[in-house]
A and B are shown apart, each in its own frame.
Chain A
């Protein structure tokens, strides 16, 4: 499976936002009906006041996505995880459960976690998340590595359920992983069988050099705040080189640009809206905004996509509730008419939707190579 070629299709994901469950359900349904590949439930490890002075609140991502798994049929369900404040064992189980319940639609976006939240996770007399925060990207890399090993702690065919013999499992196909990194130590095995996708896809945000290095080691997809096609091309070249250095194939990573789409009836109206949004975001947080009529926004998307530096876009939380429905209703059909976006209604695993192969079990592979057992 290659990301290139004439039948190359755009990948689209969108963030859910807000503490209101009914609103998240509507967002997920809009995204699913439009044919998006996934929704992402953002994590929030502390209480914050937003730019408008309002408290920002969010449902816990796994509770939210598990509930959504019951009301959706095809869209991917990606949970953001703050590595500094979590344990790989808990998260590996939750992703495993979500992957089973959604029939292979689970994924996670591993972020280091905000330093400001450390005050909520203090442990008296113990280290707490301190070192994990100081070397955040290295900790996130370890976190992803531990997740993969935990999922692989069961071979795919470990469960035999031989009723006659009274035997449930082939014990030779389940093993301790004895993971002992600098930030996490976990013995395993996991207490749930290997998930349907083998390993649910892992996303990283790529910002600085350390984030790129982490993504090049462990990510199946990377989300980047890119502002120009030139910057996108540089990012892709850099990621390609880093992956090759890590012994990975460059095509095994999907690169998504963060986007805020602003669709209006006329270009003037859209530009006026864009101007107001940029003022609200503030100069400190410059971001990629495509503003215009549906055709104009589709033009910008097409230009970026044809350049082949990126594989698609992640629509970050939008400042107005009408922006995502407008994009889904007007821009997506236009992209489809141009042959840039999939037909919609496809049911597949999240992994195969992203054009990624199901990974082999690392322990089973070692065993075969070793010729033992």
Chain B
């Protein structure tokens, strides 16, 4: 490992025209750009100028029921990330694949291919699917329940990692220009037969440049946190406040030891939505302007979907019915996010209208409007005081929100010596200070990257 000095990590999370649900209505925003490759290529050039660690694209396999107000259509992440690998040379590329409606052999190949094409910059955000609409797109009658989904996910991840290892690093013997000259003795069938999958292997690709692409995860439920401690290397999380962030951080890091892992082997990145202005007043004005364009109908749909309760039945300007919602213990969806919203409403005594507004920027992730210095202060504080190893940066509107972050907040963090001024490595593992995993097959011994 290189320099032991702890550095902050910054991942860019892109969604449509920005994370604020009214971003697309702002002047200058071009909503039709979300299906254009050039739009994303431009954003990535900006992110790479800012020396950001990685880009993350979320994904889902169904059209949400709120299409009238928010379509959330986008380019399928794998295809898009492979194209983006071409215009960039350093920034990591984090794609999403569900362990509920995919097969390990496909997922292993897709991430291995992305890792080859990007020369070691691929990562897999491991998700389980959370709504019945998705099940209907894959011949499924209903969603497997919450704990069943995680058991399946664990087996899925294990199979994918073994497929990545199925070719030893030394299996390739000669110049690939001359055709592939591999040693079949160093290529292994994995012969997996488990509760959910049977997979013979080996993979039909050599071991990827990073050995194994990086594993990313975002579950916040009890099962989700345990899964992260056991298997994830980067965790995205939504936290309302630094205090909540500290609790989550301590909780997850404390779980690592029982899996024989050290705290440095897992990086925790809370979401951070920054509405940036040169003065605080300017930032607050931007926030008000964004909130002014919120569609209440959309907000109600959004809350109703999350709570699986018709929220239009409650008066907009009365307090959120937290007791009623808390009693609904058996929610088979975004468990972590459900609890986070109820807690936010309870603590801040929010009305339904206020909860819609408070979650419009970033769906429960931390959000603040301020100057670049104020935002850097907040980030540095979370990072120094045990709430974060870095941040999942969620620009409220694009591309300007990202340009402001890279142009103003990043230099502030660099000047304080907490964020890199240049990339030090070339792979995503190197950016996050994660070791290249040893191959379970063949020669033992840890290979160190960087």
Contacts and interface: CB of A to CB of B under 8 A. Distances in A.
A186 B139 contact: yes
A121 B177 contact: no
A120 B68 contact: no
A47 B72 CA distance: 37
Contacts of B194: 124
B32 A66 contact: no
Nearest to A86: B106
A62 B61 contact: no
A32 B54 CA distance: 32
Interface string A166-183: 111101001000000000
Interface string A274-296: 00000000000000000000000
Interface in A120-161: 120-125, 159, 161
A227 to B, nearest CB: 27
Given A124-B194, A171-B67, A69 B37 contact: yes
A308 interface: no
A188 B137 contact: yes
A192 interface: yes
Secondary structure type dominating chain A contacts: mixed
A96 interface: yes
Interface string A79-95: 00000011101100110
Residue of B22, B83, B114, B293 with most chain A CB atoms under a 10 A cut-off? B83
B24 interface: yes
B32 A69 contact: no
B147 interface: no
A190 B298 CA distance: 20
Contact of A54 (B179, B201, B293): B179
A47 B181 contact: no
Interface string A91-124: 0011011101100000000000000000111111
B198 interface: yes
A20 B177 CA distance: 8
Contacts of B85: 67
A191 B73 contact: yes
Interface string B368-379: 000000000000
Given A57-B205, A67-B82, A100 B102 contact: no
Contact of A193 (B73, B136, B193): B73
B433 interface: no
Interface in B65-80: 67-76, 78-80
B114 A63 contact: yes
B187 A55 contact: yes
A18 to B, nearest CB: 7
A121 B82 contact: no
A225 interface: no
A192 B201 contact: no
Contacts of B142: none
Interface string A38-59: 0000001111110001111111
Given A53-B184, A119-B198, A89 B117 contact: no
A70 interface: yes
Nearest to B163: A120
Contact of A186 (B116, B138, B206): B138
A245 interface: no
A119 B176 contact: no
A184 interface: yes
B6 interface: no
Nearest to B84: A70
A313 to B, nearest CB: 24
A193 B74 CA distance: 9
A291 B364 CA distance: 66
Contacts of A123: 103, 196-198
Contacts of B138: 87, 89, 186
Residue of B63, B73, B79, B113 with most chain A CB atoms under a 10 A cut-off? B79
Contacts of A54: 179-182
Given A57-B204, A168-B24, A64 B101 contact: no
A71 interface: yes
A62 B75 CA distance: 13
Given A18-B180, A59-B116, A70-B87, A100 B37 contact: yes
Nearest to B166: A47
A23 interface: yes
Given A67-B117, A159-B32, A192-B76, A87 B101 contact: yes
Nearest to B71: A168
B257 interface: no
B24 A192 contact: no
Contacts of B35: 100, 192-193
B149 interface: no
B281 interface: no
A171 B64 CA distance: 12
A63 B113 contact: yes
Contact of A101 (B68, B73, B75, B196): B75
A54 B86 CA distance: 29
Interface in B87-101: 87, 101
Contacts of B116: 19, 21, 59
B182 A169 contact: no
A192 B74 contact: yes
A343 B133 CA distance: 48
B199 interface: yes
B68 A167 contact: yes
B109 interface: yes
A59 B72 contact: no
B209 to A, nearest CB: 11
A190 B109 CA distance: 24
Given A120-B199, A123-B197, A94 B72 contact: no
A189 interface: yes
5 contacts: A87-B138, A89-B137, A97-B79, A166-B69, A166-B295
Interface of B: 22, 24-25, 31-32, 35-37, 41, 60-63, 67-76, 78-87, 101-103, 105-106, 109-110, 112-114, 116-117, 133, 136-139, 166, 176-177, 179-182, 184, 187, 193-206, 293, 295, 298
Interface of A: 18-21, 23, 44-49, 53-60, 62-64, 66-67, 69-71, 85-87, 89-90, 93-94, 96-98, 100-101, 119-125, 159, 161, 163, 166-169, 171, 174, 184-193, 321
Given A59-B205, A192-B76, 5 more contacts: A60-B106, A96-B75, A161-B31, A185-B139, A192-B74
